[in-house]
């Protein structure tokens, strides 16, 4: 995800900006840039790919004396990861960097273009600098023009802007995206979209609040909110960089669980119209001649594939099969050219999945990859790609990557339905409304987290866990079991609820822990009977549902929803938190479980 840095002072501006950007690398990005204003002279550099490319471009550049600099790492949302689309964006005599999304950029852009402004990039960000300059051209002072510009923006933003009209100054604004201003004893000013960029450079910081804007100059910080001046409230900076990257969370996994609401909003951006799913990245002919979908993946991504297969058949009305990549490779599969082969992978590098993708291509199938990492091997190999936009995932146990895969696959099942005319307008509207609910549904409720934390102490032993569910909740049960076993090292299995009586119920006793997924909106009574069968044999039951279940030993309540998809996503969060809290109580390293690697590039 994007990162922002800024510096105003007399030291090595280039070095300070590049250092700050390096500290934000962990967030993931695909291009980067800096702009420096010294007196009335601008220097700017942009590069696609890693920061070493930007470093190479800036090798011959240095500053001497006072300068204002801004820098950015961009993770593409509007427009491809190209140099032109990289920040900072230039107007006539100003540069801007921005994190977030300007929702009304098209409207603003149309008005500016009609007024004769020429745009270079495909980004939403560029409107900010042109709007600012057009307001200055109409006679406003820089601060007035900046204030007016910000008041016209809708969406989420953290912005830094520098302009020749007011050198030795950096303008800033924050709404919905993080931004921090720091100062040190030498009166240098620093900006960062996260603590990590500022640690070691300054000791006092202001965590800007939504709606705040202003500027820093040689003489200090001017801060305001709704036109009224605000006295900056300084706080001390944390000292550890790693702790800063975790933003106060105990583990990256926890941070990533909490981030899901934000990243799912990113996943949805630009892809939902009122009555249609929009995948600009797909060629409309992708589904021509396609009668079947074959989903293929490993691990958690396989669970996303399996869960979505219910949606492809139910909503997309298309025959769908699901394969574990390591199995598909050697089973001498019959691959038919009317099948769309869909590989799903967080990293885009998993060896088995990559090989099946190559196999499918070699057999003449059209291929699509659903992936979190642009330019990964799979994205380069496939005919088409949809990026999940989860941002970099550091915890080995996948959480937000799974959530974003599920949302992309759900949207893609609807895309298939709309392309094949298999869904009516009203049904599509309902599905889109449900999709829009999901970012709020996965927001972690503090009370729920605390309840799970307390309850976790009862689940640290036993001779095994069964996670059970029916329909799309069966793959979710598989995922819950995988999460638990990989970080707690306790034995856990996911099972379809209705299958328990065909064998596993023989294990039932008080030391067998059953985590029962009991959605109100999907096969509730059937699941309930299955859980009752286990309860009757004295298995210890922890039910997850919106409805208390009297035969359960423990109960984790979720909110009442009118459809099973929000129930799915809320239960997903419960399972992630439960496995994490159990693992923490057991004293395990949640982020780096034993024997596991984040990217499995061997067969």
Binding site for ligand F6R (CB under 6 A): 298-301, 345-347, 350, 353, 397-398, 482, 486, 600
Q: Are 68 and 216 in contact (CB under 8 A)?
A: no
597: three-class secondary structure by DSSP: coil
CB of residue 65 to ligand F6R, shortest distance in Å? 48
CA dist., res. 50 & res. 25, Å (int): 9
CB of residue 465 to ligand F6R, shortest distance in Å? 16
Residue nearest to ligand F6R (CB): 299
Q: Are 409 and 301 in contact (CB under 8 A)?
A: no
Q: Which of residues 129 and 482 has its CB atom nearest to ligand F6R in the complex?
A: 482
CB of residue 318 to ligand F6R, shortest distance in Å? 23
CA dist., res. 87 & res. 75, Å (int): 10
Q: Which of residues 485 and 528 has its CB atom nearest to ligand F6R in the complex?
A: 485
* Residue 2 CB burial class (10 angstroms; 0-12, 13-18, ≥19): buried
CB of residue 256 to ligand F6R, shortest distance in Å? 11
509: three-class secondary structure by DSSP: coil
Q: Which of residues 384 and 427 has its CB atom nearest to ligand F6R in the complex?
A: 384
Active site residue 296: no
Q: Which of residues 6 and 494 has its CB atom nearest to ligand F6R in the complex?
A: 494
CB of residue 382 to ligand F6R, shortest distance in Å? 13
Q: Which of residues 153 and 305 has its CB atom nearest to ligand F6R in the complex?
A: 305
Active site residue 2: yes
CB of residue 343 to ligand F6R, shortest distance in Å? 8
CA dist., res. 499 & res. 26, Å (int): 43
Q: Which of residues 398 and 431 has its CB atom nearest to ligand F6R in the complex?
A: 398
Which of the residues 10, 57, 241, 598 is marked catalytic?
598
Q: What is the DSSP string of 58-121?
A: TTT----S-EEEEEEEE--SSS-S-TTTSSPEE-SSEEEEEEEEETTHHHHHHHHHHTTPPP-S
CB of residue 358 to ligand F6R, shortest distance in Å? 15
CA dist., res. 322 & res. 344, Å (int): 11
CB of residue 401 to ligand F6R, shortest distance in Å? 7
Q: Which of residues 295 and 482 has its CB atom nearest to ligand F6R in the complex?
A: 482
Q: Which of residues 123 and 347 has its CB atom nearest to ligand F6R in the complex?
A: 347
469: three-class secondary structure by DSSP: strand
CA dist., res. 400 & res. 391, Å (int): 9
Q: Are 314 and 472 in contact (CB under 8 A)?
A: no
Q: Is 210 left (phi over 0), alpha (psi -120 to 50) or beta?
A: beta
Which of the residues 2, 202, 296, 371 is marked catalytic?
2
The 3-state DSSP composition of the chain as helix, strand, coil percent (nearest 5) reads: 40, 25, 40
Query: How far is the CA of 379 from the CAs of 305, 324, 348, 371, 411, in angstroms?
Result: 17, 19, 7, 7, 19
Q: Which of residues 146 and 302 has its CB atom nearest to ligand F6R in the complex?
A: 302
CA dist., res. 485 & res. 479, Å (int): 10
CB burial of 570-594 (b: ≥16 within 10 Å; e: otherwise) equals bbbbbbbbbbbbbbbebebebbbbe
Four-CA torsion 67, 73, 74, 75, nearest 10 degrees: -160
- What radius of gyration, in Å, describes the C-alpha atoms of the chain? 26
The pair of structure tokens assigned to 538 is 């004295």
Q: Which of residues 112 and 481 has its CB atom nearest to ligand F6R in the complex?
A: 481
* 3-class SS letters over 162-213: EECCCCCEEEEEEEECCCEEEECCCCCEEEECCHHHCCCCCCEEEECCCCEE
Q: Please, which residues have CB within 8 angstroms of residue 259's CB and are 6 or more apart in sequence?
A: 391, 400
CB of residue 317 to ligand F6R, shortest distance in Å? 27
Ordered strands of the 512-517 beta sheet: 492-496, 464-469, 512-517, 540-545, 554-557
CB of residue 27 to ligand F6R, shortest distance in Å? 18
Active site residues: 2, 598
């Amino acid at each position: 995800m994007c990162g922002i840095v800024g510096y105003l002072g007399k030291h090595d501006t280039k070095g300070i900006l590049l250092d700050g950007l390096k500290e934000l690398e962990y967030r993931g990005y695909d291009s980067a840039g800096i702009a420096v204003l010294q007196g009335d002279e601008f220097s700017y550099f942009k590069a696609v790919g890693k920061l070493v490319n930007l470093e190479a471009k800036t090798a011959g550049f240095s500053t001497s004396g006072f300068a204002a600099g801004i820098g950015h790492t961009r993770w593409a949302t509007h427009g491809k990861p190209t140099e032109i689309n990289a920040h900072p964006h230039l107007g006539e005599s100003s540069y801007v960097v921005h994190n977030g999304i300007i929702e009304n950029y098209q409207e603003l852009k149309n008005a500016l273009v009609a007024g004769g402004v020429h745009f270079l990039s495909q980004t939403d960000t560029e409107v900010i600098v042109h709007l600012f300059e057009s307001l200055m051209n109409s006679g406003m002072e820089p601060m007035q023009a900046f204030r007016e510009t910000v008041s016209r923006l809708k969406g989420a933003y953290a912005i830094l802007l520098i302009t020749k009209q007011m050198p030795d100054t950096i303008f800033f604004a924050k709404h919905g995206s993080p931004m921090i201003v720091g100062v040190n004893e030498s009166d240098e000013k620093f900006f960062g979209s996260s603590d990590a960029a500022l640690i070691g450079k300054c000791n006092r910081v202001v965590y800007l609040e939504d709606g705040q804007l202003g500027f820093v100059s040689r003489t200090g910080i001017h801060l305001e909110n709704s036109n009224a001046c605000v006295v900056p409230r300084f706080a001390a900076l944390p000292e550890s960089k790693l702790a800063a990257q975790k933003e106060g969370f105990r583990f990256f996994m926890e941070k990533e669980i909490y981030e899901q609401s934000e990243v799912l909003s990113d996943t949805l951006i630009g892809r939902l119209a009122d009555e249609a799913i929009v995948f600009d990245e797909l060629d409309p002919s992708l589904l021509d001649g396609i009668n079947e979908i074959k989903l293929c993946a490993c691990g958690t991504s396989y669970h996303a594939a399996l869960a979505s297969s219910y949606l492809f058949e139910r909503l997309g009305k298309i025959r769908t099969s699901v394969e574990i990549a390591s199995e598909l490779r050697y089973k001498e599969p019959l691959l038919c050219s009317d099948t769309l082969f869909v590989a799903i992978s967080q990293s885009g590098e998993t060896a088995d999945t990559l090989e099946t993708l190559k196999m499918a291509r070699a057999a003449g199938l059209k291929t699509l990859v659903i992936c979190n990492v642009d330019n990964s091997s799979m994205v380069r190999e496939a005919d088409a790609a949809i990026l999940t936009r989860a941002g970099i995932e550091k915890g080995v146990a996948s959480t937000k990557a799974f959530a974003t895969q599920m949302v992309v696959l759900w949207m893609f099942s609807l895309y298939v339905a709309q392309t094949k005319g298999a869904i009516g307008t009203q049904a599509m509207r309902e599905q889109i409304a449900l999709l829009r609910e999901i970012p709020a549904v996965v927001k972690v409720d503090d009370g729920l987290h605390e309840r799970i934390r307390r309850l976790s102490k009862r689940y640290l032993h036993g001779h095994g866990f069964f996670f059970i569910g029916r329909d799309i909740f069966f793959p979710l049960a598989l995922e819950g079991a995988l999460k638990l076993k990989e970080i707690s090292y306790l034995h856990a299995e996911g099972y379809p609820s209705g299958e328990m009586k065909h064998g596993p119920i023989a294990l039932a006793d008080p030391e067998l822990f059953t985590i029962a997924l009991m959605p109100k909106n999907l096969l509730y009574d059937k699941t309930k009977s299955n859980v009752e069968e286990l309860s009757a044999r004295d298995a210890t039951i922890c039910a997850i549902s919106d409805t208390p279940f009297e035969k359960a030993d423990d109960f984790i309540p979720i909110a009442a929803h009118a459809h099973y998809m929000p129930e799915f996503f809320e239960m997903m969060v419960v399972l992630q938190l439960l496995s994490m809290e159990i693992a923490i109580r057991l004293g395990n390293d949640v982020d780096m479980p034993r024997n596991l690697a984040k990217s499995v590039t061997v067969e």
